[in-house]
Structure 1
Amino acid sequence: MTDDGPDVVVLREGVHGVSTTEYAEALRERLPADVNVARARTADEERELVPSARVVTGHRIDESLIADATRMRVFACASAGYDHLPLGALEDAGVAVTNASGVHGPNIAEHVVGVVLQFAREFRRFWRQQERHEWRRGQATELYGSTVTVFGLGAIGQAVVDRLEPFSVDTVGVRYSPEKGGPTDEVVGFDDHRGVDDALARSDYVVLACPLTETTRGIIDAAALTTMEPHAVLVNVGRGPLVETDALVAALQKNAIGGAALDVTDPEPLPPNHPLWDLENAFITPHASGHTPRYYQRLADVLAANWAAVDADELDDLRNRVR
């Protein structure tokens, strides 16, 4: 702890606009008692507090703050994605960057299982029937015995596969390094186009849990949607541009696929007049699958695990270091 100010500063902007108060409290519980944690509530407080801190954490950091942050050794990004950060300025200042990789696994995986069951068991249709006081059976299906392809076998993808296991589904994983294997029954590479097409053609559910890269941008395009079966459901909890939106809208409008559950969209936020809102076979959530009260607790666990390395200035040992 320094007499001049806090050691750790939590910036005011939280993930998805959620207050960082819980995050600061979780850090105080986990870090040594002599580590001073402060939460900036305003832009003025950020400018006042950041120069003293060895660690600054939050969803984003303004480049203007970095020049004055002469003691900062680590910026702990509160989200898994970090491309929105001023990485050049952070690197020039000698600041290491960590992210929130792994924090989203349990919460997003539960969201995926929930929306898959929603489509399988026709919960949305029955909910609408209840609102109309209408007693009419449908033809729900079973998740048991179905085939699920998961794009991305990082923390989120692995958590999805783990939670699907009790349903006795067949799983296919798509990842950059298929030689690493994975928790799925089969693994194919992103560059194995025949293998990916084969997986899409026999999948009942396709889950996108991969990062957005030049390889994955638009990976679900018109051709991929045509390859999927008419009953198949697409679930996107990765990034909106993984899917070509116009092609998806056309496929849903023609019932060329069974449906789509989208927690991320392109564009995002989804404009109020966008056709996806009005499609009965589309389920839209506002990039909310990753945030639960435990999100900030898991995020605080990452920074707490890194504190010894920060204190010893051994930044190569940082967990989740990305830069």
Structure 2
Amino acid sequence: MSTKPVVVVLHNENRPSPDALAPVTDRAEVRFTQADGLADAMDGADVVFAYDFLSTALADAWHAAGSVEWVHIAAAGVDPLMTPEVRASDVVITNSRGVFDDAIAEYVLAQVLSFAKDLPRSLRLQDEARWQHRESERVAGTRALVVGTGPIGRAVARLLRAAGLEVSGSGRRERTGDPDFGDVSATEDLHEALGQADWVVAIAPLTDQTAGMFDTDAFAAMQPHARFINVGRGELVVTDDLVAALRSEQVAGAALDVVDPEPLPADHALWTLPDVMITPHNSGDFVGWRDALVDLFAENFVRWVDGRPLDNVVDTSLGYVPTTGS
């Protein structure tokens, strides 16, 4: 390139670390903007780095994206970007696959153990200074179904297997002999698979096909003692149906790192239902995660400037990065 490319960094109150972004600022004109200035910032820009990965501002500003060649989002899920206009364009979309895999897997294992060992109740009893003996559950030999067989789902499966759980997957197509999941059932057979699981982990990408996949019928298919863990997107779940399933004890408990809506209103029923653990969409947010996201973008930017293929290219017809066996 004869002139420096223009990179727009969409951010909220948090901005990328200057040190982490140095490989980009050294080789590009960088424009920092929040949502209200995105359209102006994109005038003549080549690249958009959606560091504010929950922002939907790109949809309203897309009319100004005439020169944009590449959009990168600082998240594994790309659903905030997947408008009809983006899908119909030639703009390359990449995501931050790989940054959160192990941290989210650790979170899932922590929630499984927390349920089995009744840790929330132990804390409540401690607050009341009550010495109340109880028995706990073993997790070894129990069955987990991981719904979503991409890289994060695989990391979850490997860690749960290491803890002694029997793991299977639910993905686009049925297969056997998978190195991480063993058996994978097809999405159309989800309800049958749900009926075999003690633990159900939702980590599927949010697409037109997966939105609302956990509804009344799905929860009715689960065993009454099963626990539901959602680390994917809140919109995978019909929230009112989950509340009803928990109230009727069709589902024994839920650990929700993502909900619909977010943030969860203070008066929402999920806050006070027993055996529900809610965390504020932070299952992957380990110490240093923000710089890790910028590092990944910076490495991809260098590839782009050098004319090499980009990593983590999203198939916009699918809404995620396709992988072998996913």
Spell out the pairing of 1:17-32 with structure 2 (5 A cutoff): 19-22=14-17, 24-28=18-22, 30-31=23-24
Partner residue in 2 for 1:108: 104
Counterpart secondary structure, 2:261: coil
Shift of 1:168: 1.3
Partner residue in 1 for 2:305: 311
Partner residue in 1 for 2:136: 140
Provide Cα deviations, 1:202-233, integer angstroms capped at 9, x if missing partner: 32211001122343333333333233222211
Q: CA RMSD in A?
A: 3.0
Provide Cα deviations, 1:91-114, integer angstroms capped at 9, x if missing partner: 777532212233321222121111
Q: 1:39 and 1:32, CA in 2 relative to 1: closer, same or farther beyond 3 A?
A: closer
Higher helix share: 1
Q: Choose 300-309 or 285-294, whichever is displaced more.
A: 300-309
Q: Is the 8 A contact 2:16 2:294 kept in 1?
A: no
Spell out the pairing of 1:230-245 with structure 2 (5 A cutoff): 230-245=224-239
Provide Cα deviations, 1:215-271, integer angstroms capped at 9, x if missing partner: 333333333323322221100111223223223212212333220011122333322
Select 2:185's aligned residue among 179, 185, 188: 188
Select 1:253's aligned residue among 244, 247, 251: 247
Gaps of 5+ in 1: none
Provide Cα deviations, 1:295-317, integer angstroms capped at 9, x if missing partner: 33332343233234422556xx2
Counterpart secondary structure, 2:288: helix
**Aligned equivalents of 1:203, 1:64: Cα separation in 2:** 42
Partner residue in 1 for 2:217: 223
Spell out the pairing of 1:38-187 with structure 2 (5 A cutoff): 39-40=32-33, 43=36, 49-51=41-43, 53-58=45-50, 59=53, 60=55, 61-62=57-58, 65-68=61-64, 71-85=67-81, 87-90=83-86, 94-179=90-175, 181-187=178-184
Provide Cα deviations, 1:48-73, integer angstroms capped at 9, x if missing partner: 65445432201344456555556532
**Aligned equivalents of 1:183, 1:176: Cα separation in 2:** 16
Q: Choose 115-124 or 297-306, whichever is displaced more.
A: 297-306
> Number of paired residues?
310
Q: Is the 8 A contact 2:231 2:256 kept in 1?
A: yes
**What percent identity do the matched residue pairs reach?**
34
Provide Cα deviations, 1:183-210, integer angstroms capped at 9, x if missing partner: 11321111235xx41x322322110011
Q: 1:275 and 1:69, CA in 2 relative to 1: closer, same or farther beyond 3 A?
A: closer
Q: 1:56 and 1:214, CA in 2 relative to 1: closer, same or farther beyond 3 A?
A: closer
Shift of 1:149: 0.7
**Aligned equivalents of 2:244, 2:40: Cα separation in 1:** 51
Q: Is the 8 A contact 1:305 1:319 kept in 2?
A: no
Q: Is the 8 A contact 2:300 2:310 kept in 1?
A: yes
Aligned-partner residue type, residue 280 of structure 1: P
Q: Choose 264-273 or 62-71, whichever is displaced more.
A: 62-71
Shift of 1:144: 1.7
Q: 1:36 and 1:177, CA in 2 relative to 1: closer, same or farther beyond 3 A?
A: same
Q: 1:163 and 1:49, CA in 2 relative to 1: closer, same or farther beyond 3 A?
A: same
Please list every run of at least 4 consecutive aligned residues from structure 1 whose deviation after the TM superposition is greater than 6 angstroms. Answer: none
Aligned-partner residue type, residue 120 of structure 2: R
